[in-house]
Amino acid sequence: MEQDHYTLQVAPEDCTGCGSVRGVCPVKNKSDVSKKALNMAAQEPLRAAERDNWEFFLSLPEVDRSSFRTDR
C-alpha cells in the first residue's frame, strides 16, 4: 500500500477543545519533534477550512479496512 495515504479528520463542529486527542496521540511531528502529530489551535479561525476538509473527507469512498496492517 505504498501508494496510499492515511489521514485523520476531526469534525470541526464536534471538537470541544478539551485537548484529549493531543494528550493520547503518541506520534511526533516528523518535521518538528517538539510537537506532536496532533496539536490544539483556536477553533474559530480554522472552522471554515476544517469544514471544507470534513466535507471532502465525507466524499471519499469507503475502503476495505481488512487490507490495512495494524500490527506495526
In tens, the pLDDT along 56-69 reads 989 988 888 887 77
Name beta bridge partners: 28: 36
User: How far is Cα 16 from Cα 1, in angstroms, rounded to an integer?
Assistant: 34
Give 34's pLDDT tier (boundaries 50, 70, 90). Answer: confident
Sorting pLDDT into bands at 50, 70 and 90, what band is 26?
A: confident
* DSSP-derived secondary structure for 25-48: --PBPSS-TTSBSS----HHHHHH
